Amino acid sequence: MCCYYRSSRMKQYFKEHRALRTETVISDTRDFGIGRRVNATNWHALRAVGQAANRRLCDAEACDAAPAPDVVTSEQVTLPSDDPDGLHAPGLRFGDRRVMAVLSAIVGFAHLPAGFNNRRLTDLVATLLDAPYTSRQATYDLRRLRREGMIERIPGFHRYQLTQLGRRVAVLFTKAHSRVLAPGLGWLHPDLPDDVSQRSPLAKAWRHLHNTLDDFIAHGMIAA
């Protein structure tokens, strides 16, 4: 896997098929505001940038591989709550069209070293919704994401980046909604033609359960 930023790149591969190796190659030190002179100061600065980039990538992969958020965390995110400072945090309802679009957007921004801002969120969410989404709405969503602990503001800038909690929740919610819930409900729809439902093991199993349950209930009512 290769990621590029200006004239620098990060790559990850299996070394001799035994271990996962992650390395960052900085071809131009000015990409990160560091001088080209060979001295201890520039060397330590370059090393810090490389280590931070490698750690950020590995942390993101570890978060995606981590177990799903527990019940308490899910309730904290989906239900209204208060943050540690006592500020009210509106809930992020799973399945809500706008919420799912916002979570999909911030997952897409997870790889950006400089984070994202209101304008970028507004543009992407409007595209995902295929409907108007204003800067004011983005401000509201950024506020509740921040109070839920899912994003954090980059000091000195009006830009934000995902926290580990935010990445875990956003990945789980978007995957569960787009890959499980939406297609699963489509296959279970009662108006689905029989010839189509026969193509899905899920639809066949569900209809068999539904018919068996109806027969059981009818038999029980007659016997009573």
| SS (HEC) of 139-182 | HHHHHHHHHCCCEEECCCCCCEEECHHHHHHHHHHHHHHHHHHH
DSSP 115: -
- Are residues 143 and 196 both part of a single domain? no
Q: Which residue has the higher pLDDT, 85 or 105?
A: 105
- Are residues 177 and 197 both part of a single domain? no
Give me the mean pLDDT over the 105-109 stretch: 89
Q: How many distinct structural domains can be found in the chain?
A: 3
Provide the token pair at 78: 């989906």
3-state SS class at 26: coil
Report the C-alpha gap between 116 and 178 in whole angstroms. 23
Report the C-alpha gap between 223 and 199 in whole angstroms. 36
- Are residues 57 and 142 both part of a single domain? no
The pTM assigned to this predicted structure is: 0.62
- Are residues 60 and 78 both part of a single domain? no
84 pLDDT band, cuts 50/70/90, is confident
- Are residues 175 and 219 both part of a single domain? no
* 12-71 pLDDT tens trace: 888 887 788 888 888 888 888 888 888 999 889 988 988 888 888 887 777 666 665 677
9 pLDDT band, cuts 50/70/90, is confident
pLDDT over threshold 60, residue 224? no
Question: In this structure, are residues 92 and 79 in contact, taking their beta carbons and an 8 Å threshold?
Answer: no
- Are residues 100 and 144 both part of a single domain? yes
- Are residues 50 and 148 both part of a single domain? no
Return the pLDDT at 36: 85
> CA 140, 63, 124: angle at the middle one, nearest 5?
35
Final residue belonging to a domain, choices 13, 33, 65:
65
Final residue belonging to a domain, choices 65, 93, 120:
65
Phi, psi of 15 (to 5 degrees): -80, 115
- Are residues 162 and 80 both part of a single domain? yes
- Are residues 109 and 133 both part of a single domain? yes
- Are residues 55 and 123 both part of a single domain? no
* 112-166 pLDDT tens trace: 878 899 999 999 999 999 999 999 999 999 999 999 889 999 998 889 999 988 8
Final residue belonging to a domain, choices 65, 87, 104:
65
Which domain CATH number covers 96?
A: 1.10.10.10
- Are residues 176 and 89 both part of a single domain? yes
What Å distances lie between residue 61 and 14, 21, 64, 65, CA to CA? Answer: 15, 13, 5, 6
Identify the domain containing residue 35 by its residue range. Answer: 2-65
- Are residues 38 and 109 both part of a single domain? no
Q: Which residue has the higher pLDDT, 216 or 56?
A: 216
3-state SS class at 11: strand
Of the candidates 100, 31, 24, the residue with the CA atom closest to the CA atom of residue 55: 24
